[in-house]
Amino acid sequence: MANNQMELNFPKGGVFMIFIIIAVIILFSKSTVTIGPGEGGVVFERFGDGINTEKTYGEGFQIVAPWNEMIVRKVRQQSVSDEMNVLSVNGLEVKVNGTIWYEPEFSNLGLLIKTKGEDYERELLDPAINAAARSVVGRYTPEQLYSSKRDVIEQEILDEVQILLKDQYLLVKRVLVEDVKLPTTIRTAIETKLKQEQESLEYEFRLAKAKKEAERQKIDAEGKATANRILSASLTDKILQEKGIEATLELAKSNNSKVVVIGSGKDGLPIILGNQ
């Protein structure tokens, strides 16, 4: 009889212990969270004031009350790309492809989620980017957007976004304008104009180079002419006669020459005949 009673009670005790173990496992799993690299977490207090804005949890193993929830979001630098239809200063519609780098403020992640929601990129970042792009692109002509103003536009969009997101707990680091798409007719017209301007600059360069070369040759010729005039003015008959005598004496000293003086030549210089 006793043995039968024990056999009936044992299964009930075993089921109870299994139930306790399962409950502990569930409770433990609900109370622990692992926050990955580059992530941060904030606690949603279900029976309190909602998001706890006082503390942001960093990477690693964290324990929370089972009735609360840990919201985990990326807090490292991230990027988002978009194509926007905007108007230039003359009302022409252009498409701007751009990428923006941003990151949430780690210490204010709770305030960011509490005020803007978990999907704060869509609620906060996207509208700011579009507003800044429209504001900046609307200051320029299609030619400026297509060519030399790209880096200036990037900086101006970055400045505009940072102003719009000031005190919003979201930091924007950099803006890159990857492409500006214009209607085909406008793009072709701009490319043709730029080509003509380049050819005109090359022609002006060649003209300037030729002009400088002509001036150089003129200066060189004038220098030579001046030198010849000075030399001619300084050569008197006596100097020429003296130079002729010196040359005759040098020639007479040559071992290969036989000198025969047969009389006096022009200007009183001797005539020297060699053995030819």
Over residues 73-82, the pLDDT tens digits come to 999 999 988 8
Torsion 202-204-207-208 (CA) sign: negative
Q: Which residue has the higher pLDDT, 125 or 187?
A: 125
247, HSE (Cβ side, Cα atoms, 13 Å): 10
Q: Nearest 5 degrees, angle CA 138-CA 143-CA 148?
A: 95
Report which DSSP code applies to 127: H
In the chain, the domains with their CATH numbers are 21-74 (no CATH), 78-182 (3.30.479.30), 243-272 (no CATH)
- Decide the pairing of beta strands 50-51 and 69-74: unpaired
What pLDDT score was predicted for residue 103? Answer: 93
Q: What is the DSSP string of 146-214?
A: HTTTHHHHHHHHHHHHHHHTTTTTEEEEEEEEEEEE--HHHHHHHHHHHHHHHHHHHHHHHHHHHHHHH
> What is the distance between the alpha carbons of residues 190 and 182, in angstroms, rounded to a whole number?
10
**Is the full-model pTM beyond 0.85?**
no
Cα gap 97→83, rounded to integer Å: 4
Whether 185 has a pLDDT exceeding 80, the answer reads no
Nearby residues of 205 by Cβ (< 8 Å), 6 or more positions away: none
271 pLDDT more than 60: no
pLDDT score, position 91: 77
